[in-house]
Amino acid sequence: MSSQYFKSTVLAASLAAIAGSAFAAAPADWSKVPGRTVTVFYPGTSPMEWINKGTEHSGARGLREGDSCSACHEKELADMGNKMVTGQKLEPHVIKGKAGSIPVNVQAAHDGANLYLRFSWKQPAGGGEKMDADNPVKLAFMLANDGLMIKSGKKEIDIASRGGCWGTCHEDSRTMPDAKDDKKTKYVEGGNVAGGRFLDLLQWQSKSNKGTDGHVADKREMTGGTALISASGEKKGDTWVVTFSRKFAGGTGDVALAAGKTVNFGMAIHDDFTRGRFHHVSMGYSLGIDTKADITAVKQ
């Protein structure tokens, strides 16, 4: 066997492997994939510091005792969003016309090596200031493993499993009323990628119609991950549809997925040209790969 033939064979195999990953196909018929409605709501100024303060947030005690945010608030998210978006509670900067909440249909599937997530929702009325004039819409989701412990009163709680991406929201982050540094992004207390103290972050932006793959540890990094294959979206009539393709395996700041594994999931939509904290967010949920969870990715 010639060395040239050997090199050609190795090259062909390498290209095939790359192509198999890069051109992984989402389900051809999403109508056959079960969906779950996840309500994203306007959170106002409700960072971790407020959530942990029992004199202001009655759920702080429940959080310390093991309750999750979604278990307590699942049925009242729309009402909560309306109170904050209108300035009745925790919002000094009211944006006229902004929706208090958005119901999103979330579907998940996989092919044994790649995860596919599809988000669809109706565009609500808007009309607020264009904070991010380039992007009418951005959609992001975060994944995290259990064990992201933080101090809450005299106890330590796993914020990843109980509060989802709320573990990255703090009162001193930029655009918050108490922020002193307009460059300070979301972060995790004691965040460290090597030590596993991070959340995996993927975002789609409407202007580029592409996605970014990053993470949140001691600060937010929008790049660095290698798990994202593609992210694309379009508006069909009054409905947005955004689809992500993501490899199970990744690199720095990527949460590894596998059949039978459950991870923590949270999402956010920056609607109507907004940026920073002026987004709609979900509570924390579980995402399972072929296993029972709040959202289950089934093999196609």
Number of helices (H), then strands (E), in the chain: 6, 15
- DSSP designation for 255: P
Predicted local distance difference test score (pLDDT) of residue 23? 52
> Tokens 């009745």 sit at which residue?
88
pLDDT band at 13 (very low <50, low <70, confident <90, very high): very low
Q: φ, ψ for residue 68 (rounded to 5)?
A: -95, 160
pLDDT digits (tens, 9 = 90+) for 209-240: 999 999 999 999 999 999 999 999 999 999 99
Mean pLDDT of all residues belonging to the chain? 89
Q: Which of 106-120, 167-181, 205-219, 235-249 has the lowest mean pLDDT?
A: 167-181
Following DSSP, what letter does each residue of 147-193 receive, concatenated?
A: --EEEETTEEEEHHHHHGGGGG--TTSTTSTT-S-TT-----TT-BT
Following DSSP, what letter does each residue of 18-42 receive, concatenated?
A: HHHHHTPPPPS-GGGS-EEEEEEE-
Range of the domain at 115: 28-299
> What's the rounded Cα separation, in Å, for the pair 98 and 23?
38
CATH number, position 135: 2.60.40.1190
Structure token pair of residue 198: 């991070």
pLDDT band at 281 (very low <50, low <70, confident <90, very high): very high
Q: List all residues 6 or more positions away from 197 whose beta carbon is below 8 Å from its beta carbon.
A: 148, 188, 190, 191, 217
Residue type, 238: D
9 found inside a domain: no
Return the H-helix or E-strand segment holding 146.
none
Select from 157, 219, 228, 164 the least CA-distant residue to 193. Answer: 219
Number of domains in the chain: 1
125 found inside a domain: yes
The mean per-residue pLDDT over the stretch 263-283 comes to 95
110 found inside a domain: yes
pTM: 0.89
Contact 228, 202 (CB under 8 A): yes
> What's the rounded Cα separation, in Å, for the pair 240 and 234?
6
Contact 293, 110 (CB under 8 A): no
Return the H-helix or E-strand segment holding 78.
helix 77-85
- Residue 7 above 50 pLDDT? no
Select from 31, 37, 76 the least CA-distant residue to 58. Answer: 76
21 found inside a domain: no
282 found inside a domain: yes
pLDDT digits (tens, 9 = 90+) for 28-49: 899 999 999 999 999 999 998 8
> What's the rounded Cα separation, in Å, for the pair 82 and 69?
18
